[in-house]
Amino acid sequence: MKIKYLNYALCFIAILGSFYIILTKEQTLGIFLKDFSIVLTMPLMYFIERLFKVKIDDKLKLVYMSFIFAAQFLGVTVELYNVIDYFDKITHALSGVLTAYGALLILSLVFKEPFKNKFFPIVWMIAFSLAIASFWEMFEYTANILFGGDAQRVALTGVNDTMQDIIVAFLGSILVSITYAFYSQASLFDFKHSVKKCR
């Protein structure tokens, strides 16, 4: 199966599943916004392509959609976070991988020439990943204040859950950083081809 069709399938399943859950369970405003948000986040890459007139590589889309499908649709909408132990940690580790990959993509767009100093991209990847993980935890905290709930499990774990989420995201970025350090010249990490401007 071509990757682009897999992306379409993930997007379709998540959106259709979200509507099914909205229609079949009792809704408050907070629960509705949580379940409906997948309609905006899942096809986000396609919105970006249209808005900025760029073509994003299907493999990059697959990384993003796989994370959103696992973390938001399966974890939040289907509520696997409440059913499967450590599902939360797995998705946060995946977020570290995704954000580190995204950090390298940003570098390739801003700087056309490869860096002679290989340490800068590594530091950038780790810092970017930690920043995104921290912003996500702040988003969860704000959502808890505005809409109620306890996504960060403060009542149950104190700060343990939040800190563990950030740590596993950090470890995910370390994994990508180590891979980059060894294979930065390989075609797998030729980020110049990840996003191509439309002509």
pLDDT tens digit sequence for 114-128: 667 778 888 898 999
- Of residues 129, 9, 139, the one with CA closest to residue 66: 9
Low-confidence ranges of the chain (pLDDT < 50): 186-195, 197-199
Q: CB neighbours of 146 closer than 8 A, spacing ≥ 6?
A: 30
Provide the pLDDT for residue 12.
Answer: 96
Q: CB neighbours of 55 closer than 8 A, spacing ≥ 6?
A: 49, 195, 196, 197, 198
Q: Are the C-beta atoms of residues 54 and 198 closer than 8 Å to each other?
A: yes
Helix (H) or strand (E) holding 100: helix 87-110
Q: Are the C-beta atoms of residues 32 and 24 closer than 8 Å to each other?
A: no
120-133: string of b/e by CB count within 10 Å (b at 16+)?
A: ebbebbbebbbebb
Provide the pLDDT for residue 198.
Answer: 45
Strands (E), 65-164: none
Provide the pLDDT for residue 189.
Answer: 44
Q: For residue 49, give both structure tokens.
A: 């392509």
Taking the domains of the chain in order of start, what are their residue ranges?
1-83, 85-199
Report the C-alpha gap between 115 and 117 in whole angstroms.
Answer: 5
Q: CB neighbours of 150 closer than 8 A, spacing ≥ 6?
A: 144, 156
DSSP 8-state class, residue 77:
I
